[in-house]
């Protein structure tokens, strides 16, 4: 769609990544940007040469993308829902906030996404769910420029949020711990950080579509170093540690949803 207005509210980690990914697209999009934090406003203006407002004006058409934290949503909707025309598509990325929550304030079509920060390089994967049937404003086509899109039932979003939205943190935390262990065992901080960075960069070539456990089998050899480390992980209940982390994140998404609905 040509000349689509994209309004982005909140240009923190996710909002600025989304803006970057959308700017990379060869599409005729008109951006209207809103951010409370003065430093972020200045940084976005310096990077893209566009002005950023701190208050929403009236929004007649296009897509309004909400990239604010769940704690700020109630106040945002209370103050702004009467400024948003019914034709505007609402796009939300807020973890734990279901589409039904918005119906207390507005009757607009809603699309809910759970991307991660990789959308800034247009290499993301975007799970979504929506309250309407046919594509509207060709927005799915635009999203597919940010990465592979896939529709899911909304009740799966708690677990999707835990594994995909928060997912980069699991891998980066693991990398941080591998790096710390290597340092403790004799490498310099810089060497261990460099080597673990190269290790992480090498992983995409190992994602082949087969089950991850099968790939692990191919890396390990009997009585070798990998097997010794894997045995130690098993002995220390690695599976339980990971299950508990993903389960905690999933439960937190359910809790946020309850908290916000009880507000």
Looking at residues 73 to 132 of the shown chain, list those that interact with ligand NAP (rule: CB under 6 A). Answer: 76, 93-95, 114-117
252 near ligand NAP, judged by CB under 6 A: no
The residues near 180 (Cβ < 8 Å, ≥ 6 apart) are 192
Q: In angstroms, what is the C-alpha Rg of the chain?
A: 21
Best CA proximity match to 19, nearest among 82, 93, 69: 93
Looking at residues 134 to 173 of the shown chain, list those that interact with ligand NAP (rule: CB under 6 A). Answer: 165
**Residues 118 and 147 sit within 8 Å (Cβ to Cβ):** yes
Residue number of the CB atom closest to ligand NAP: 12
12 near ligand NAP, judged by CB under 6 A: yes
Query: Among residues 33 and 89, whose Cβ is nearest to ligand NAP?
Result: 33
Structure tokens at 233: 């992980």
Best CA proximity match to 163, nearest among 232, 210, 104, 114: 114
- The minimum distance between CB 17 and ligand NAP, in angstroms, equals 8
Q: Of the ranges 33-41, 127-135, 206-214, 217-225, which one interacts with ligand NAP (CB under 6 A)?
A: 33-41
Structure tokens at 19: 């803006």
- The minimum distance between CB 256 and ligand NAP, in angstroms, equals 8
69 near ligand NAP, judged by CB under 6 A: yes
Q: Are strands 110-113 and 63-66 parallel, antiparallel or unpaired?
A: unpaired
**Residues 162 and 249 sit within 8 Å (Cβ to Cβ):** yes
Q: Which residue intervals of 185-237 are DSSP H helices?
A: 189-202, 212-219, 225-235
Site string for ligand NAP, 185-214 (x = CB under 6 A): ------------------------------
Query: Among residues 116 and 192, whose Cβ is nearest to ligand NAP?
Result: 116
**Residues 196 and 173 sit within 8 Å (Cβ to Cβ):** no
Selected from 4, 8, 14, 19, the binder of ligand NAP by CB under 6 A is: 14
Q: Of the ranges 64-72, 144-152, 193-201, 247-255, which one interacts with ligand NAP (CB under 6 A)?
A: 64-72
Mapped onto helix, strand or coil, the DSSP state of residue 30 is: strand
Query: Among residues 119 and 192, whose Cβ is nearest to ligand NAP?
Result: 119
Contact residues for ligand NAP (CB under 6 A)?
9-10, 12-15, 34-37, 40, 67-70, 72, 76, 93-95, 114-117, 165
């Amino acid at each position: 769609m040509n000349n689509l207005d994209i309004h982005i509210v909140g240009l923190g980690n996710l909002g600025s990544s989304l803006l970057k990914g959308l700017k990379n697209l060869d599409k005729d999009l008109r951006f209207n940007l809103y951010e409370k934090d003065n430093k972020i406003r200045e940084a976005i203006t310096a990077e893209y040469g566009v002005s950023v407002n701190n208050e929403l004006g009236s929004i007649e058409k296009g897509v309004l993308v909400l990239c604010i934290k769940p704690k700020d949503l109630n106040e945002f909707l209370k103050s702004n829902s009467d400024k948003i025309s019914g034709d505007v598509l609402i796009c939300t990325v807020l973890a734990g906030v279901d589409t039904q929550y918005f119906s207390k304030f507005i009757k607009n079509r809603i699309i809910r996404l759970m991307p991660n920060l990789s959308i800034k390089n247009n290499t993301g994967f975007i799970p979504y769910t929506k309250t309407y049937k046919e594509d509207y404003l060709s927005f799915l086509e635009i999203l597919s420029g940010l990465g592979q899109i896939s529709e899911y039932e909304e009740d799966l979003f708690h677990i999707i949020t835990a594994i995909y939205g928060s997912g980069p943190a699991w891998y980066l935390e693991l990398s941080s711990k591998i790096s710390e262990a290597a340092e403790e065992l004799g490498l310099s901080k810089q060497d261990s950080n460099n080597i673990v960075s190269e290790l992480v960069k090498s992983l995409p070539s190992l994602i082949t579509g087969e089950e991850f456990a099968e790939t692990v089998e191919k890396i390990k050899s009997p009585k070798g170093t990998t097997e010794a480390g894997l045995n130690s992980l098993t002995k220390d209940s690695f599976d339980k540690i990971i299950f508990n982390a993903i389960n905690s994140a999933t439960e937190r998404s359910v809790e946020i949803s309850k908290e916000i609905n009880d507000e």
